[in-house]
Structure 1
Amino acid sequence: RIKRIVLIDDVSESLQKAADTMGEGLTGWVLKHLEKAYSGLDRKELVKVRREEKLHRDAEAGKPEIFARGCSFYKLAWLFFLGSLLGDIVETIFCYFTMGELMSRSSLVYGPFSIVWGMGCVLLTVILYQYRERSDSFIFLFGTFLGGAYEYICSVLAELVFGTMFWDYSGIPFNLGGRINLLYCFFWGIAAVVWMKFLYPRLSALIERIPVKPGKWLTWIMVVFMCFNMLISSLALYRYNQRQTDSSAETNAYTEFIDTHFPDERMERIYPKAKPAK
């Protein structure tokens, strides 16, 4: 038995040496042909770079796993959730101080979540992530145009899908069809700077401190909850608009359920500024 073990060790060692020899030979062959193809290349420099890359990969492999590293799906899911929550709170406070009225600014029937802000955070992160080291003025201009286009598209989609207008800027100067206005586009630019330079780095660091396994479970729980919330909200909004515009619409078990759980009074509290599109 001992002889067999020794034999296996010898064979393994021989195979490893053969693999190393073949690897070195293959590397040498590649470098030789690269030198011929590109006369300016320094073989020693290529070997050095290759070794540094290998050391970097080995160092990365040895690091403990970090939850939601970089601009990953898990990071974006958390940013969507937190952005929806924080955006709703900020907008509610803003409306209170500017209009003197405390009103719901939520996009969903369950919880204080603004989908526009959540998707805005994700959009800003995905598009501006590669430019996060650029100047504040660059991010401001980029965010101004991006935010204006995004808000306009959201307004059009809401009207097409739900037949409802959630905001109308017709009374504000320099508006475009009441869907966007220049002042609020500038707000988007400011929000982009604040987000990329201050909020995103801090939120990103906090998210990455979440333990990996619980973080993944929590992420999928949030995803399922938000998908369910958006589905129910869409059905409730569609039915609410139907009640406002077509009183003779046919009723069934589905409409009775929606009418019972989401009557006009409740919908008006959640969406005080919503009105049927003209």
Structure 2
Amino acid sequence: MIISLLTLLFVALVVEGFIRVIRYFWNWLRRGRKLDSEKVYKARRAQKAAQTVAEKDLRDFEEKSAPEQVVTAGKTEADAINAYLDNMKFTWYQGVIIFFLGCIAGLFVEEVWMFITAGLTQCRVGVVWGPFSPLYGFGSLFLTIICYNLRRKHAKAWQIFLISAAIGGGLEQLTGWSMETLFNAQSWTYMYLPDHITQWVAWRFLFFWGVLGLVWTKVIMPPLLYRIGMPTTKRQVLFVTLVALYLTADLLMTLACFDRKTERDAGIAAQNSFEEWIDEHYTDEFIANRFQNLVIGEDL
């Protein structure tokens, strides 16, 4: 019992320390050389709009009762975030960060879900480098782009639900079909479910995507975009550019490894030094250990 409590305490301290490092690094990025005056002005204008709304909501805050203060604080934060988003310009900068976070968060949720529902402790990454699942990254990015515009147009909840379900189902269908068609590979299938629509799409998961879209639009996306904000320094732009280049290289290398795995299964020898290098470092054993839920070739 004592060992378990000490372990939990240690994990909590590690998480807290990691969060502190991330905050320090993010603040360091904000202290770099400023971008051109127009971009900085737009970012500061959005922040000023949020501050103005917050100051308006917080008038007479001290004179209210404790329950009223709690309600006022929550409303102030929500109003400030909405005011910021109304003035924010969504660009590739926020998109890369959303994709990066979505890849990691989606992978974590999926592995926890598989452990809870099926008792599986299975590595379900989607790329050769890093703890990323591109399916969730692209899903987060597309949901953000679409839902950000739906929010601006004051779309109703049922509209957000249906569009999010369509985005999620379309992404699953396209990804599953592409993997099987291009690489003769399969990462998941819903054929065993009674409510499957296609091999890669099922009604229950369309419902899940719809609910996720609602939660994303109403709860997660606004404060997340608010905290990401708009870039004001060259450090921020450089860092996000490097992240984008890394993720792009990761995706391209993954495709190259899958392509060579398919060719090896077909008895096709490497045609150049790059393919020979892939065969040497990303063997069938590596693919099997890395992508534990992936079925390729004859096992389909």
Same-fold status (TM-score > 0.5): yes
Unpaired segments ≥5 residues, structure 2:
1-37, 48-84
Structure 1 residue 145, shift from structure 2 partner: 2.2
> Is 1:182 the equivalent of 2:203?
yes
Matched pairs, number: 218
Shift in CA distance, 212/275, structure 1 to aligned 2, threshold 3 Å: same
| Corresponding residue to 2:129 among 110, 135, 140 | 110
Q: Secondary structure at the match of 2:44?
A: coil
1:61 is displaced (CA, Å) by 5.0
Structure 1 residues 75 and 94: CA distance shift in structure 2, 3 A: same
1:249 match: secondary structure? coil
Query: Which of 216, 219, 228 does residue 249 from structure 2 map onto?
Result: 228
TM-score, normalisation: structure 2: 0.66
- The residue aligned with 1:269 is 289
Q: Give the secondary-structure state (helix, strand or coil) at the position aligned to 2:90.
A: coil
Partner in structure 2 of residue 54 of structure 1? none
* 1:146 to 1:209, Cα distance in 2 relative to 1, 3 A: closer
1:182 Cα deviation after fit: 0.8
Alpha-carbon distance between aligned partners in 1 of 2:208 and 2:90, rounded to the nearest angstrom: 24
The amino acid of 2:98's aligned partner reads L
Is residue 66–residue 212 contact of structure 1 (8 Å, CA) maintained in 2?
no
CA shift for structure 1 position 66: 7.1
Does residue 260 of structure 2 align to residue 239 of structure 1?
A: yes
1:198 pairs with 219, 224, 232, which one?
Answer: 219
Higher deviation after alignment, 130-139 or 233-242: 130-139
- Matched to 1:102, the amino acid is T
2:186 alignment partner in structure 1 = 165
Q: CA deviation at 1:97?
A: 1.1
Q: 2:268, 2:41 → 1: CA distance?
A: 61
Percent identity between matched residues is 25
**Root-mean-square deviation (Å):** 2.6
2: CA distance, partners of 1:93 / 1:269: 19
**Distance change (3 Å), C-alpha of 1:138 and 1:265:** same
251-260 or 89-98, larger mean C-alpha shift: 251-260
Which is further off, 229-238 or 138-147? 138-147
8 Å CA contact 1:66–1:208 kept in 2: the answer is: no
TM-score (norm 1): 0.71
User: What is the letter of the counterpart of residue 245 of structure 2?
Assistant: V
Alpha-carbon offset, residue 63 of structure 1: 6.5
For CA contacts below 8 A with separation 6 or more, give which structure has more relative contact order. 2
Asked if 1:153 is matched to 2:133, the reply is no
Rounded Cα–Cα distance in structure 1 between residues aligned with 2:224 and 2:41: 25
Question: Which residue identity does 1:80 align to in structure 2?
Answer: F
Instruction: Please report how far the alpha carbon of residue 255 of structure 1 lies from its aligned counterpart in structure 2 after TM superposition.
Output: 3.3
Aligned to 1:64: 44
The structure with more radius of gyration: 1
Distance in 1 (CA, whole Å) between partners of 2:212 and 2:285 is: 33
